[in-house]
Amino acid sequence: MSDATATAVAETPQHGGATPPAKGGKWRGDLGEAMTRNLGLLGVLALLIIIGAVTQPDLYGDSTWVRNNVLSILQLASVVGVVTVGMTFVIIGGGIDLSAGAIVALAGVWATTVATQSYGAAGMIFTAIIVGTIVGLVNGVLISYGKLVPFIATLAMLVAARGLAAQISGKQTQVSGNATINGIAGNKLLGIPILVYIFAGVVIVGWVLLNRTTFGRRTVAVGGNPEAARLAGINVKWHTLMLYGLSGLCCGIAAIMLTAQANSAQAAMGNLYELDAIAAAIIGGTLLSGGRGTIVGSLLGVIIFATITNLFAINNLPVEVQNMVKGGIIVVAVLIQQFRFQSITQFFARNKVTTT
């Protein structure tokens, strides 16, 4: 993991369209920055676990319980985590996808209609993934070719997709009677729930896609400076379209996972997942204005949020306090981000002076 973190961090700045070249030693500039941020997040995570261990020594004294608790946190993080991977790509690419939760609901509902369930597990998975991707692509078309602001286009999709989901489901909770689908959440392979494998798989594919392919490089370039990316020969519109399609695809996968977890789907499910995903990406160091971010950071962001939920649950503390703490963490993360980016604003300011 730490190896992956280091590589992810090392790759981003070199190919980031807008980020300045690292000056000085290894720990100066962008490279050290993203790494220290991820180390900081790991520190926060460790702190949360220590708080848990101190407050509930009885539970933490039982090694089987601790192992189950780690798996429980990962399962809790898995659905939002998959959405966050797609969201990270969209945000790095300079956009935002407010419709993520609604797409999860629509794909989940579509995949659990009586007609779809008659095609079995494969039919349900196919439906969820295709519905998610198509809705994402519609977002992409509206944004890149219809020239709608991403915020507005995906906000419209949020409303419309939930509406369509409610229409299809007849506002009822649709129970999934498919043992294979329900088994995705219930069954384990080598002691680890299948859900966690899917989560890991999506994260790894996302990491490779962002750091090891031209698609990933282009995403960073498009988000950092679309005009420069266009002049460099990147089809910015097409690429943006693909990014929203990718986010939709992730939502489709998440829909199947959530359906498996809840053994059902309904139009209200995945409520506010888009905000959870955006928050996780932000505290993971993804810049909301685009051009910068890491999959590992987002992953840590999601896991930190899940660990907080878990921590509050095992200490039987009210959800209200939990939400306040989460809000506080987002603010602190963004504040830290701003401090770190002062150096970059300075760089641009200097640049401006030299060019004019």
Partner 1 sequence: MTQQARDLSRRRLMFGGAALGAGALLTACTSNEASAPEGQTKVADASAAAPGKPVTIGFSAPAADHGWMAAITNNAKAQAGLYSDVTFKTVEAGADAPAQLAALRALIGQKPDVIVLLPHDGKELNAFGLEAMKAGIPVVNLDRAFPDALAYRLQIKGDNYGMGVSAGKYIGEQMKAKGVTNPIIAEIPGIDSLELTQERSAGFKAELATFGFTVASRIPAEFTADSGQKAASQLLQAQPKIDAVWNHDDDQGIGVLAAITQAGRKEFFMVGGAGSKAAIDAIAADSGVLKATVTYSPSMASSAITLARLIGQGKGMSDLVELQVPKEITLTSETITKENASTYSKLGF
Using CB under 8 A, list all residues that contact partner 1: 59, 62, 65, 68-69, 72, 75-76, 110, 113-116, 119, 123, 126-127, 130-131, 134, 162, 166, 168-175, 182, 185-186, 193, 258, 261-271, 309-310, 313-316, 318-320
**C-beta of 319 vs 331, nearer to partner 1:** 319
Distance CA 77, CA 52 (A): 17
Half-sphere exposure of 306 (CA within 13 A, CB side): 22
CB of 270: closest distance to partner 1 in angstroms?
7
Q: How far is the CB of 205 from partner 1 (least distance, A)?
A: 20
Report CA Rg, the chain: 21
Shortest Cβ 111–partner 1 spacing (Å): 8
CA 280 to chain centre: 7
Which residues have C-beta within 8 Å of that of residue 306, sequence separation ≥ 6?
73, 74, 76, 77, 80
CB of 295 to partner 1, least distance (A): 24
Local structure of residue 20 (DSSP, 8 states):
P
Q: How far is the CB of 101 from partner 1 (least distance, A)?
A: 10
In the complex with partner 1, the residue whose CB is nearer, 119 or 341, is 119
- Minimum distance between the CB of residue 105 and partner 1, rounded to whole angstroms? 9
What dihedral angle (degrees, nearest 10) is formed by the CA atoms of 47, 53, 55, 59? 150
- Least Cα distance to 304 among 276, 324, 331 occurs for 276
Pairing of strands 264-265, 192-193: unpaired
Choice between 36 and 72, CB closer to partner 1: 72
Distance of alpha carbon 281 from alpha carbon 275, whole angstroms: 10
Is the Cβ of residue 154 or residue 310 nearer to partner 1 in the bound state?
310
d(CA 269, CA 165): 10
Comparing CB distances to partner 1, the nearer of 43 and 120 is: 120
Closest to partner 1 by CB, 102 or 287: 102
CA atoms within a 13 Å half-sphere pointing along the CA-CB vector of 302? 29
Torsion of CA 127, 133, 139, 142, to 10 degrees: -100
Minimum Å distance from CB 186 to partner 1? 5
Kindly state the tokens that stand for 102. Answer: 């609604």
Q: How far is the CB of 328 from partner 1 (least distance, A)?
A: 20
Of 99 and 169, the one with the shorter C-beta distance to partner 1 is 169
Query: Using CA atoms, how far apart are residues 234 and 78, in angstroms rounded to an integer?
Result: 33
Pick the closer one to partner 1 by CB: 6 or 71. Answer: 71
